[in-house]
């Protein structure tokens, strides 16, 4: 089974890139973030025609997450069930075969010290609590998405420039570490221990085109049983190139059945 996470930065705008990618790769489970549309406007039919079942948690203009699966979707849940956080469509989970999948689009936070930054830290702790309460680490669990946080300086093209800035600050990384303490592992880092592998490049600075000036903020975190089944994780850089791409590339993990 291949599981991908991809912030598409508007699923309708990105459909001319998404559909060929789904058809060419045949990836069985695809977790999308920043779909930017209500559920009724999600381009369901075109994706279903490729053999996918779809679960969406949408919102007008902003946010939005979805899970596409060729292996069915069971026990679909939206959000955390916590009033403070469920006004924004940022989390969806489902069971696919024997894998519990949580797909998240973490709050950006704007800048360190902003009220949205504080909200981001609280949101991540709500994710931690949701995982602790309902996602046993002795099962196959994959928590994936756009986390809007780097693990360390290996995830940054220019650590000095980004030092203690948003996406790279110590408090954000500490809360991400609290997730890992549940028993999760950073799957990509297992296969790329030296770092320098990025998933997001800023449109404004043409970071992809001008020398791979990126960050790694999209992650696939796995429980021990899922990690044991994982045989590789790669970033599909080709999906970031070409006409009208998202500013993120898909990250794809392969799990043995």
For 213, residues 6+ apart whose C-beta sits below 8 A from its C-beta are: 157, 158, 201, 202, 205, 207
146 is annotated as an active-site residue: yes
Q: Active-site residue among 98, 117, 129, 146?
A: 146
Mode of pairing for the β-strands spanning 214-215 and 140-146: unpaired
Which of 93, 89, 172 shows the shortest CA–CA distance to 131?
A: 93
Both tokens of 124, joined, read: 């991540």
Cβ 23 vs Cβ 51: under 8 Å: no
Which of 16, 11, 70 shows the shortest CA–CA distance to 43?
A: 11
For the beta carbon of residue 236, count every other beta carbon within 10 angstroms. Answer: 17
Q: Active-site residue among 105, 117, 155, 247?
A: 105
Catalytic site positions: 105, 146
């Amino acid at each position: 089974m291949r599981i991908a996470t991809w912030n598409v930065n508007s699923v309708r705008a990105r459909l001319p890139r998404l559909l060929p990618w789904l058809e060419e790769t045949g990836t069985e489970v695809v977790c999308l973030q920043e779909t930017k549309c209500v559920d009724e406007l999600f381009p369901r039919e075109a994706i279903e025609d490729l053999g996918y079942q779809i679960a969406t948690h949408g919102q007008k203009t902003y946010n939005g997450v979805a899970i596409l699966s060729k292996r069915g979707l069971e026990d679909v849940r939206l959000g955390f069930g916590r009033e403070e956080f469920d006004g924004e469509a940022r989390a969806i989970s489902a069971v696919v075969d024997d894998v519990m999948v949580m797909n998240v689009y973490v709050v950006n936070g704007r800048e360190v010290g902003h009220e949205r930054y504080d909200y981001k830290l609280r949101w991540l702790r709500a994710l931690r609590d949701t995982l602790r309460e309902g996602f046993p680490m002795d099962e196959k669990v994959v928590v994936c998405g756009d986390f809007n946080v780097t693990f360390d300086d290996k995830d940054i093209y220019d650590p000095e420039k980004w030092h203690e800035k948003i996406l790279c600050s110590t408090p954000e990384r500490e809360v991400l570490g609290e997730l890992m303490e549940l028993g999760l592992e950073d799957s990509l880092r297992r296969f790329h221990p030296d770092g320098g592998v990025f998933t997001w490049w800023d449109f404004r600075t043409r970071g992809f085109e001008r020398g791979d000036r990126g960050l790694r903020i999209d992650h696939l975190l796995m429980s021990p049983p899922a990690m044991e089944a994982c045989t590789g994780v790669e970033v599909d850089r080709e999906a970031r190139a070409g006409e009208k791409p998202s500013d993120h590339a898909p990250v794809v993990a392969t799990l043995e059945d």
